[in-house]
Amino acid sequence: MMNLFKKVLIANRGEIAVRIIRACHELGIKTAVVYSDVDRETLPVRLADEAICIGPAQPAQSYLNIPAIITAAEITDAEAIHPGYGFLAENAQFVEACNASAITFIGPSADNIRDGGDKARARQIMTKKGVPVVPGSDAPVKSEKDAVEIAKAIGFPVILKASAGGGGRGMRIVHKEKDLSQLYHTANKEAFAAFGNGDLYLEKYITEMRHIEVQLLADNYGNVIHLGERECSIQRRHQKLIEESPYVFADAKFRKRVGDTAVKAAKAMKYRNAGTVEFILDNDNEIYFMEINTRIQVEHPVTEMVTGIDIIKEQIMIAAGKKLDKKQQDIKVSGHSIECRINAEDPVRFVPQPGRIDLFIPPGGPGVRVDSAAFTGWTVPAHYDSLISKLIVYGKDREEAIARMRRALREFTVEGIKTTIPFFLKILDDPDFISGNFKTNFLEIKDINKQ
């Protein structure tokens, strides 16, 4: 094996920090992890070779504190930093700070992050390279008046989106012209509060659609491959809840078409490392570029399950200068995988439920994987995302994967706090979910909790 890093600093927390630590240790790389004062007694701190407290619970003073993280890397002699997802994972300034300190950032370039993070800019790049995009503004809309003119030209409904962000923040669907003014200003304020940038772009809103995404790997030498597609249409308020691979109705022809388009999009941006191209799929089976996520994604395990490729290890090896050792024809998608995001939330009202976990017993058995940093006695803090575990299953086909997920969810024991486990069990029993007959509006048109 080529020379890799001797030590990697993980600039994150929770399950993704554990995931990265495990990948590093399997590669023979020592690890250091940063943590806030409320995360002192957590699994990443226990598993890493070294741990550095970088500040109080508030993310701005710890996990978003660039100088503190760079200092932690220098103190621990870490040669590289893996940002995980969230926090600083898509912060171009952080990448540049790493570069200035001669520390390798395990992820894409600062330019990749800027281009991908500016959704309007990404649309421009894709349009120039012939990648299909949803009709909409070619740049951020300059005013409410411009938004009205563009909306009239492409027809209602339309959707306003934050140019600088994602995750459903700074996003509003507008069905009628009379509602555009209020929703424009609401989205603008929300985008500025969330991302420090209130710019919005506007697209035609496709009411009946599926959300399909493609996992990419790109090395530093221009080689790009895709690892198949994921189905991410089960969402609540634009937040993914269940992810699958492959897309239930995909055949070899569709996979090649969507995969080739994703690779084309990555090459248009001169992309490197791991990334994900997200698409809208309409009722006519046409695909439209939506955005490129310049980081590892929460749902990456389903792709690992059906391809046998460890995406975190690939990220590390690419960052260390290794060429991709696989060509597109080497990638085989086999079986079916499903992931449920287990959140510390009330399963009916979806209100966060921080607190002490009195008993935590994850499921096991064939084809079951649990990515988590939770354990009995751990207190879920109120300061961060409510995700406590990712439950991933694999089956020879979708029918077996659904049955295995049901079984695993029923085995999963979490006492002391409420979780979304009962909610997922109801979804998995829904006939439309079982048949694959669902779009992104699945939870809007169904009251799962009354079934």
Let me know how long the chain is: 451
Q: What are the DSSP calls for 231-274, one per residue? A: EEEEEETTEEEEEEES-TT--HHHHHHHHHHHHHHHHHTT--EE
User: Phi first, then psi: what are they for 390, rounded to 5°?
Assistant: -115, 125
| Burial annotation 397-431 (CB, 10 A radius, 16+ → b, else e) | ebeebbebbeebbeebebebbbbbbebbbbbbeee
Element (H, E) at 311: helix 311-319
125/92 Cα distance (integer angstroms): 18
| Angle CA 277–184–197, to nearest 5 | 60
DSSP state letters, 325-392: ---GGG----SEEEEEEEESB-TTT--B--EE-SEEE---STTEEEEE---TTPEEPSSS--EEEEEE
Type of residue at 36? S
Structure tokens at 106: 């395990």
Candidate list 255, 295, 369, 398, residue with the active-site label: 295
* CA dist., res. 304 & res. 126, Å (int): 27
Residue with tokens 């079934």: 451
Tokens 């439209």 found at: 288
> Coil, helix or strand for 181?
helix
287 phi and psi angles, rounded to 5 deg: -110, 145
Instruction: Clarify whether 295 is annotated catalytic.
Output: yes
Whole-number Å distance between alpha carbons of 202 and 218: 30
The catalytic site residues sit at 295
